[in-house]
């Protein structure tokens, strides 16, 4: 039987200026610009294969080997739009366009840590589903031979995942067009611009997020006054300043803004009613430790940042990895595997009990 398939590999990104809130839920247009580093490692990524065939009797999706329901409106919208564009491009026959799609996505985050805790580190299952949707669109577009920019369709699958299209430091700009066509990801610099940059990921907890980012964002948009101030004043200033810091490789400024933005994002969570609390006592303990070692060293060794969960991501330069890891392991000892240490704008995985 004839099967056509394409595989793409999607790395994880860690935001330093956080995306929080949408102006359009359906098109996933963000309330504010955001900026992240894409982890450059084979050890933490999601691999998605899409295939079409005349023999497939229906569209199906598998995540980490388990079949999931396909009645997700975001995925259906993406597949329909890709097929419409393919029809207009005239590169596939009408018969091929009728073929059903099989999508198979796997992440190897667990393997990266040598334990299962990393599995839900950045992406809960639902986010992983969206990440898969996002990259399925890319694979589908390749399969259907669609030319031109498809990031606007892909973004409808997942918001923050759109920054993983590029390596290095990447911004996702809100855009001004109400239909979202100019709300796209752009690379600021490739990973080779700042080869000394490292990311340490400290797994504090593998439990599922209590409040999904989608509902947390909705709730913050409805109730947080701080979010309005953040979007109007803080984020635009920080985007400009952190971009300059990245271009100049000014780690002090980069680190300060990264920590301030993470703190403000979690303050917005507390300002939301009822509050969205993502960090726990261990998360706060790690943030304290980073401030303490930075103070004692008389310079900034590391910057912490936390997404919608308790796990800490530390940005730091390669030369400071041994001392920061030693401090983390001393104050937060663990008997879990320490993980490996990779080069590049890169990830080291360690666990905190
Ligand atoms: O893309 P989502 O819906 O999983 O939102 C993620 C939002 C944060 O991770 C908290 C921040 C970000 O910019 O990645």
CA distance linking residue 118 with residue 113, whole number of Å: 6
- Can you tell me the mean pLDDT for 38-46? 72
What are the sequence ranges of the domains in the chain? 3-351
- Phi and psi at residue 138, in whole multiples of 5°? -65, -45
Q: Sheet harboring 66-68: ordered strands across? A: 3-11, 45-53, 100-107, 60-63, 66-68
Quick one: which atom of ligand 1 is closest to the CA of 122? Answer: 9
Tell me the best of 159, 162, 261, 312 to mutate to test the pocket of ligand 1, counting ligand atoms within 8 Å of each CB and taking the most: 159
- Can you tell me the mean pLDDT for 71-94? 76
Name 46's Cβ contacts closer than 8 Å, sequence gap at least 6.
9, 10, 12, 105, 106, 107, 123, 128, 131, 132, 135
The Å distance, Cα 345 to ligand 1 centre, comes to: 20
Tell me, what's the pLDDT at 144?
A: 78
Q: Please indicate whether residue 34, judged by its CB atom, sits closer than 6 Å to ligand 1.
A: yes
Quick one: which atom of ligand 1 is closest to the CA of 13? Answer: 14
CA distance linking residue 103 with residue 243, whole number of Å: 36
Tens digit of each residue's pLDDT (9 = 90 or more) over 253-297: 999 999 999 999 999 999 999 999 999 888 999 999 999 999 999
The Å distance, Cα 136 to ligand 1 centre, comes to: 19
Mean pLDDT of the chain: 81
Q: Please indicate whether residue 124, judged by its CB atom, sits closer than 6 Å to ligand 1.
A: no
Tell me, what's the pLDDT at 7?
A: 80
Pair of tokens at residue 215: 């509902």
CA distance linking residue 27 with residue 109, whole number of Å: 28
The Å distance, Cα 125 to ligand 1 centre, comes to: 14
The Å distance, Cα 266 to ligand 1 centre, comes to: 12
Range 3-351 classified under CATH 3.20.20.150? no
Quick one: which atom of ligand 1 is closest to the CA of 18? Answer: 13
Tell me, what's the pLDDT at 344?
A: 32
Tell me, what's the pLDDT at 129?
A: 61
The Å distance, Cα 192 to ligand 1 centre, comes to: 25
Closest C-alpha residue for ligand 1 atom 9: 307
Closest C-alpha residue for ligand 1 atom 6: 160
Full-model pTM: 0.82
The Å distance, Cα 261 to ligand 1 centre, comes to: 13
- Phi and psi at residue 130, in whole multiples of 5°? -65, -35
Task: Give the DSSP letter string of 191-227.
Answer: GGGSTTEEEEEEE---SPPSS-HHHHHHHHHHH-HHH
């Amino acid at each position: 039987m004839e099967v056509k398939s394409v595989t793409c590999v999607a790395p994880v990104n860690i935001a330093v200026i956080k995306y929080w809130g949408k102006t359009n839920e359906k098109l996933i247009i963000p309330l504010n610009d955001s900026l992240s580093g894409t982890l450059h490692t084979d050890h933490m990524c999601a691999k998605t294969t899409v295939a079409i065939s005349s023999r497939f009797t229906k569209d199906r999706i598998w995540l980490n080997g388990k079949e999931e329901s396909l009645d997700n409106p975001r995925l259906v919208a993406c597949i329909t739009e890709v097929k419409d564009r393919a029809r207009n491009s005239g590169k596939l026959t009408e018969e091929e366009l009728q073929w059903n799609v099989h999508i198979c996505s796997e992440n190897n985050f667990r393997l990266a840590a040598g334990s299962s805790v990393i599995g839900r580190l950045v992406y809960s299952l639902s986010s992983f589903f969206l990440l898969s949707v996002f990259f399925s669109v890319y694979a589908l577009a390749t399969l259907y031979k669609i030319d031109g920019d498809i990031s606007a369709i892909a973004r409808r699958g997942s918001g923050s995942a759109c920054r993983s299209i590029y390596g290095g430091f990447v911004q996702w700009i809100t855009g001004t067009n109400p239909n979202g066509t100019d709300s796209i990801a752009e690379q600021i610099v490739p990973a080779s611009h700042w080869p000394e940059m490292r990311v340490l990921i400290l797994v504090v907890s593998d439990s599922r997020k209590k409040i999904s980012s989608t509902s947390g964002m909705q709730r913050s948009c409805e109730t947080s006054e701080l979010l309005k101030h953040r979007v109007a004043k803080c984020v635009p200033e920080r985007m400009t300043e952190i971009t300059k810091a990245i271009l100049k490789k000014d780690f002090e400024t980069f680190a300060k803004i990264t920590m301030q933005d993470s703190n403000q994002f979690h303050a917005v969570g507390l300002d939301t009613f009822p509050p969205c609390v993502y960090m726990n006592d261990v998360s706060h303990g790690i943030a304290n430790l980073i401030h303490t070692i930075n103070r004692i060293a008389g310079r900034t060794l590391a910057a912490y940042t936390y997404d919608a969960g308790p796990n800490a991501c530390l940005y730091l330069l390669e030369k400071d990895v041994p001392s920061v890891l030693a401090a983390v392991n001393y104050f937060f000892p663990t008997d879990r595997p320490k993980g490996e240490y990779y080069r590049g704008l890169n990830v080291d995985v360690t666990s905190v009990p």
